[in-house]
Structure 1
């Protein structure tokens, strides 16, 4: 019921994730990023607690594979989970349990990994990796390209209704956290539109947080 991609920008050190699903508000449960540490997708029969646990393992100094193994080893119900991890060096690791739903698949690339379940076909994650690696621009642009590529390759077996994009940069809070929690239209295009609106304003929001005295005007009625 989900397809996603986790990624790292080798140039900026940013971490990010994109995801889409037939379930509502998928990004609220499945997307976990931490500046300077890594990114984790926790999906399939989702346990949202697993994302922060893997991030803590990464923060302790473990690499992607070791962090994943530290959290999954002996854990109850782990066969129902699908986890994608990328660490600070760009190394990736994936766990897909024996109870992952429907057609499922996974793929790993340069600074990225993709996975999904209840897919239309097993080529969707590989298409996402290829879409990410072929794209240019900001990490967010490349992840949107990956999500679109996954949908074009077949996506989920049924229609998707929610999607999200999340990026961590150097601060404790996300640089971008954009979601479409439910729509009968295309949630991926809804998030892509939100990204195009938000991207030119990101730096200004960071500056307002760090030093409001130097921030640009808000450009809204009543702002002088």
Structure 2
């Protein structure tokens, strides 16, 4: 009951994830991203322990396929798991356990992988990939959200989704965006609205970390109320 994707921007090196599900708080469970290393998705009877384990494998020098194979070998419940990995070179791999409920499907490309379970149809991940790949010059967050929206438009899950997530990492050890809608009637649309508000502020927020003397202190493009130093 989840459809999601991992993506990398070849131009900037940014890497990120987006996903949606009919359950609560999908962003707390499925995506695991490390800057300059890669990313892992773990879903369907989700085992969030496999995410950090996958990042450790990628960090050790394993490629995406080796990482997924090692994750499958490391868990006694591989039949219940749906996994994907994307490495720092843009290679991807995925796994569908035998007990992952249909419709289940995945689609892979250079710098991206999409997958889902309990889908309305098997065409959903391919639609997500096409949307992600449509404009390589666009910001990574835009491309990930385009993929998520395309998955929904292609049928999404059997039923309505209630939570969604977008996560983007650059070359720092903190996320450029970690946006979540944990429960809503239209979580993908709400997530897109959050990103629209957040994206123009990213450079300012990074500046507050790296060079606070130069930061404006308020939200980008606005006047700060007194005491606003978040």
Q: Does TM, scored on the shorter chain, surpass 0.5? A: yes
Q: TM-score range by the shorter chain?
A: over 0.9
The Cα shift of 1:161 comes to: 0.3
User: 1:16–1:74: structure 2 CA closer, same or farther, 3 Å change rule?
Assistant: closer
The Cα shift of 1:188 comes to: 0.3
Contact 1:160–1:186 (CA under 8 A) maintained in structure 2: yes
CA distance in 1, matches of 2:116, 2:84: 10
Superposed CA offset, 1:29-68 (max 9, x none): 0011000100111111100010110110000011110111
Q: What SS does the aligned partner of 1:73 have?
A: helix
CA distance in 1, matches of 2:60, 2:183: 36
CA distance in 1, matches of 2:46, 2:70: 18
The Cα shift of 1:220 comes to: 2.1
Contact 1:110–1:133 (CA under 8 A) maintained in structure 2: no
State yes or no: 1:214 paired with 2:218. Answer: no
Contact 1:217–1:223 (CA under 8 A) maintained in structure 2: no
**What is the number of residues matched between the two proteins?**
223
CA distance in 1, matches of 2:110, 2:88: 13
Flag structure 2 segments of 5+ consecutive residues without an equivalent.
none
Match of 1:44 in 2: 44
The Cα shift of 1:168 comes to: 1.1
- Choose 199-208 or 130-139, whichever is displaced more: 130-139
The Cα shift of 1:74 comes to: 4.7
CA distance in 2, matches of 1:79, 1:188: 29
Q: What SS does the aligned partner of 1:175 have?
A: strand
Superposed CA offset, 1:85-131 (max 9, x none): 10000000001110112311011012100000000000000000011
Root-mean-square deviation over aligned CA pairs: 1.1
Contact 1:20–1:162 (CA under 8 A) maintained in structure 2: yes
TM-score normalised by the chain length of structure 2:
0.94
The Cα shift of 1:81 comes to: 0.6
